[in-house]
Amino acid sequence: MTIEEKFATLGVDNAPGQEETRKDAPLDLRGPKLEGTPVDFSHGDVNAHKPTPGSLGLFVEGVMEGAVQAYTPYRGRMTILADMAKKISAFTGAKIDCPSELILTPGTQGALFLAMGACIMPGDKVAIVEPDYFANRKMVEFFHGQMVPVAMDWEKDPRKAGIDLAALEKAFQDGVKLFLFSNPNNPVGCIYSYDEICAIAALAKKYGATLIVDELYSRQVYEGETYTHLCAQKEIPENLISIIGPSKTESLSGYRLGVAFGTAAIIERMEKLQAIMALRCSGYNQAVFGCWFSEPEGWMKARVAEHQRIRDDLMAVVHGVEGVSARPTQGGSYLFVTIPELCVSLHEFIRIARAHAGVTVTPGTEFGPQFTHQFRINFSQDHDAAVAALKRLFTLMDLYRK
């Protein structure tokens, strides 16, 4: 394989925020252009849902502190690591030794990349869920791993995520030594049941596999839902990394902040990799961690409630359209919408929706090649604009039904 062939599979053209750089073929536009506030559902809108109060102030204080905040150890400034260990431990229920068991990273993407880079050798078999976060597959390919997909049937039973546990066990039996998954799941927004989490942990332990659990959205869990932190359970595998960050619910993505915690030997390898990858989570930016898990009284609750209301109104739109369905989000800001057969391809329809209705969504194929009738939306948007945009998208879609 050449370097060109290797990178040919790592497309970014359909990834969130990349539309600006794309050169497209002419489109089969039907009907009049649908006017309305453009909505980019490919990522959250930090103008509609502002960053945590006080975040910029902490950054400025960090700059004022000078050298001690500019140049931290690669894994992060000790005082901030200690604060994070305490807060994340209180949140998840897991014990976290500081500094041996955690590291600050450039966003949770950085944490994922470091964890994968610290665990995969060329040729290693790595299991990932389908559908799951699109970078998971790409990281396996970049590090020359062999991807082993494990299906998740999210439409079957609302009380669980629907991961195929028999397939996961078969994967471990076939030599998979690493399993990565997101909970709440990206793109579906479903939450793994207590039984599913315990089963995954037990299987990993039984087969000596490493687990990487992406808990990015675990603070944004809706009314009536129960979230289980794998890291806090009694039976966990020897090698376990959990990942979390304030980029989503807290709208701090512009600062690129993430945390990975778990097995000390893996965290140590991640620090070595971070040293040659980007040195550290940006020094001054680390100061912003101070507002995380320390939000003003009631702020997080209100933010989650706001998103639950948007979800409910979008689900009402989905329910009103024939042949369209989505599982109501249990955690996080994503909806994974299934649409009927159209007379244009999914990718073409998505380009049409952007050009003709001002609505940007992420194609299902980013989350697994088989999801040709799905798109993902991030509904952390202006409430009314999001509802209107989704309606426009379906109005337009009706012109392309087969």
Rounded CA-CA distance 144/259 in Å is 25
**138 phi, psi to nearest 5 deg:** -65, -40
Q: Are strands 258-262 and 325-326 parallel, antiparallel or unpaired?
A: unpaired
Structural contact between residues 377 and 337, judged by C-beta atoms closer than 8 angstroms: yes
Q: Which residue shows structure tokens 């849902």?
A: 49
Q: Which of residues 141-170 bind a second copy (CB under 8 A)?
A: 142, 144
Q: Which of residues 65-94 bind a second copy (CB under 8 A)?
A: 66-67, 69-75, 78
Residue 226 beta carbon to a second copy: minimum distance, rounded to whole angstroms: 31
Q: Which of residues 2-31 bind a second copy (CB under 8 A)?
A: 2-4, 6-7, 10-12, 15-18, 20-21
Q: Which two tokens stand for residue 75?
A: 């894994």
Contact between 263 and a second copy by CB under 8 A: the answer reads: no
Give the 3-state secondary structure percentages of the chain, helix then strand then coil, rounded to 5.
Answer: 40, 15, 45
Residue 271 beta carbon to a second copy: minimum distance, rounded to whole angstroms: 6
Rounded CA-CA distance 268/329 in Å is 35
Cis peptide, bond prior to residue 340, ω within 30 of zero: no
Fill in the amino acid letter for 109.
Q
Q: Which of 271, 292, 359, 389 binds a second copy (CB under 8 A)?
A: 271
Residue 244 beta carbon to a second copy: minimum distance, rounded to whole angstroms: 16
107-115, 211-219, 289-297, 366-374 -> range binding a second copy (CB under 8 A): 107-115
Q: What secondary structure does DSSP assign to 35-79, as a single string?
A: -S--EETTS--TTTSPPPTTHHHHHHHHHHHTHHHHS--TT--HH
Residue 213 beta carbon to a second copy: minimum distance, rounded to whole angstroms: 18
89-97, 132-140, 188-196, 328-336 -> range binding a second copy (CB under 8 A): 132-140
String marking each residue 34-63 x if it binds a second copy according to CB under 8 A = ---------x-xxx---x----x--xx-xx
- Looking at the Cβ atoms of 142 and 293, the one nearer to a second copy is 142
- Looking at the Cβ atoms of 3 and 166, the one nearer to a second copy is 3
Rounded CA-CA distance 278/286 in Å is 14
Q: Which of 41, 113, 217, 367 binds a second copy (CB under 8 A)?
A: 113
Contact between 243 and a second copy by CB under 8 A: the answer reads: no
Rounded CA-CA distance 290/260 in Å is 16
- Looking at the Cβ atoms of 137 and 327, the one nearer to a second copy is 137
Q: Which of 104, 119, 176, 396 binds a second copy (CB under 8 A)?
A: 119
162-170, 272-280, 315-323, 350-358 -> range binding a second copy (CB under 8 A): 272-280
**Total binding residues toward a second copy, as defined by CB under 8 A:** 74
Q: Which of residues 281-340 bind a second copy (CB under 8 A)?
A: 282-285
Q: Which of 277, 300, 315, 344 binds a second copy (CB under 8 A)?
A: 277
SS3 349: helix
Rounded CA-CA distance 161/191 in Å is 6
Mention every residue, 6+ apart, whose C-beta is less than 8 A from residue 284.
59, 62, 63, 69, 70
- Looking at the Cβ atoms of 105 and 362, the one nearer to a second copy is 105
Residue 257 beta carbon to a second copy: minimum distance, rounded to whole angstroms: 9
Contact between 265 and a second copy by CB under 8 A: the answer reads: yes
